[in-house]
Amino acid sequence: MCGIFACYRHPDVQKFKPTALKMGKAVRHRGPDWSGNWIANDTILVHERLSIVGVDSGAQPLVSKDETISLAVNGEIYNHRVLRKQLAKPYEFKTHSDCEVIIPLYLEHGIDAPKFLDGMFSWVLHDKTANRVIAARDPIGITTFYMGRSSTTPGAVYFASELKCLHPVCDHIVAFPPGHVYDSNTDELTRYFTPKWLMEPTSTPTTPLDYDLLRTTFERSVRKRLMAEVPFGVLLSGGLDSSLVASIAQREVKRLNAEAKSRTNGAANGVGGDHLVGIDDGDHLSTVQVLPELNSFSIGLPDAPDSKAAQEVADFLGTKHHNLTFTIEDGLNALSDVIYHLETYDVTTIRASTPMFLLSRKIKALGVKMVLSGEGSDEIFGGYLYFHAAPDKKAFHEECVRRVKNLHLADCLRANKSTSAWGVEARVPFLDKQFLEVAMNVDPAEKMITKDRIEKYIIRKAFDTSDKPDAEPYLPDKILWRQKEQFSDGVGYGWIDALKDTAEKMVSDEELANPKKEWGDDVPDTKEAYWYRCMFDEHFPPYCAETVMRWTPTWSKQSDPSGRAIEIHQDKYEDA
């Protein structure tokens, strides 16, 4: 991940520059490799870079040869090589960065440029000649992005990767909506990502299930996310989603290493060789760095359920596994920092983010800059245990759509900010545009949980090779068919219990009954929620709360959002 800050139409941009650089420095954790800035007319772009692709030449902001177009990007464009070949007019590229292709796309397509991008991104582009700013965010909101305004500079518009860049200079901030593009010519946001499943959630899909298509589309999604020129790995909780990602990534690494070995042998025989192996452009992918082995990472309290499962998966796949532990005291000590980096007070997000935050620090210490992660699957396939209570397929589908639409305020925010806090980038294959088009259009009757079908049955079945004797299994059966554990539960049940117990000591009954007036109607309903909100207030002014969403299950009377609180979880493990 990188960090960006931008301001358009500032009344005195040169005088504002030191402040802008300070705001950019507030997200230097996202981009520790280099800092850059660019001023044109009344606009300034500030960029903090994490170099993963185009390492030698991709410093930002990126500027066109004639210096009329400047661009600051946070993200990865997986189809950049294909886009370069498809440009209608020749463009003289200055770098090998995957992001530079956005400039010629803007020159050819204007505000439609984001429609052509396959990746995760937030960016701000300035056209000096037209004095125009275009800003965009990826379809699901994998990368965090905010937009702000200030009553002291009423004509200016501010953009940043995180809240902490904006609240010192803005008194009104919103989360930039995913799948939208902002155009300063109209001062409006327009949705560019408009699939039917998203735009018409009450229209229940009827597409028949195709297991082969589901599997091959997801495999392609994982492969394209291996685009990197630096060491990378996989987050492996031991649950279904991260285990599938790890399995496919390991297969691809083995294939690429075999090809590299073949090329090396060919070079020794005078045929020629290359340390980078290209993935077929027909798959709209790019090159990856060949690694001798794939690193996998897990974290938990001692004897945590997920850690045991993760080790089993790693042993099965043959990854170089790092099974890390943390103590309850480690987690409690990190809470204030976690909330500062997450910029939320949502209970579910904070519970799950704390172990991920601690793990990311250790990953960075091991020299890894990019990891694959399994976010999104539960939203797409109705994997949360409360989906057992869905009354019918229409309601099931509508809840899946609602969850996907809110990912940028929940699991995407968690994955992005927990890892970016330590200069690590998380990529999420389940949220690939092409895979979403396939998975979200499947008849939701196929996703329903029944007495014969466990949650996420269809994605499990798509990777089940038990009826193919000659096929190499993707995962052990006990992992492929393991019941859902929410990450905050799977790292060890003692973690959530400790949070509740500590909150009981930190917040009195009187305080819970008399919430702060500035909280308005957004009143915490538990002492744990109250405690987190107080820590949030220590870091951010009250108006920043408008960017926060609290995660709650549907069709459930439980006040606690933990999957362990859902009755089906207890029944399952009592029967085990």
**373 among annotated binding-site residues:** yes
The CA-atom distances, in angstroms, between 91 and each of 59, 78, 94, 103, 352 are: 19, 19, 9, 9, 45
Lowest-pLDDT range of 57-61, 182-186, 268-272, 367-371: 268-272
Q: Model confidence at 57, in pLDDT bands (50, 70, 90)?
A: low
Tell me the pLDDT of the chain averaged across its residues: 91
Closest of 107, 540, 471 to residue 532, by C-alpha? 540
Please tell me which residue in 2, 7, 99, 165 is annotated as part of the active site: 2
Confidence label for 280 from pLDDT (cuts 50, 70 and 90): very low
Scanning the structure block, which residue is given the tokens 């530079």? 100
Distances (CA, A) of 541 to 19, 25, 159, 284, 559: 19, 19, 18, 44, 27
Report how far Cα 432 is from the mean position of its chain's Cα atoms.
11
Could you tell me what percentage of the chain is helix, strand and coil, using 3-state DSSP and rounding each to the nearest 5? 45, 20, 40
173 labeled binding residue = no
Eight-class DSSP state of 484: P
Q: Residue length, the chain?
A: 576
Q: Does 374 belong to an annotated binding site?
A: yes
Does residue 272 surpass a pLDDT of 80? no
The question of whether 7 is a catalytic residue gets the answer no
Q: Taking residues 158-171, report their average pLDDT.
A: 98
Tens digits of residue pLDDT in 543-570: 999 999 999 899 987 767 665 545 655 5
132-143 residue pLDDT tens: 999 999 999 999
Residue range 497-555, pLDDT digits in tens? 999 999 999 999 999 999 999 999 999 999 999 999 999 999 999 999 999 999 989 99
**pLDDT score for 68:** 98
Name the phi and psi angles at 478, rounded to 5: -70, -20
Q: Please name each of the domains of the chain with its CATH number.
A: 3-194 (3.60.20.10), 211-267+291-482 (3.40.50.620)
Residue 275's pLDDT is 42
| 111 has a pLDDT exceeding 90 | yes
61 prior amide bond cis, ω within 30: yes
Rounded mean pLDDT, 194-221: 98
Q: Residue 284: its pLDDT value, please? A: 46
pLDDT at 262: 77
DSSP secondary structure code for residue 116 in this structure: G
pLDDT for 263: 73
Encoded tokens for 340: 């500062």
Predicted confidence (pLDDT) per residue in 6-30, tens digit: 999 999 999 999 999 999 999 999 9
Whole-structure pTM value: 0.93
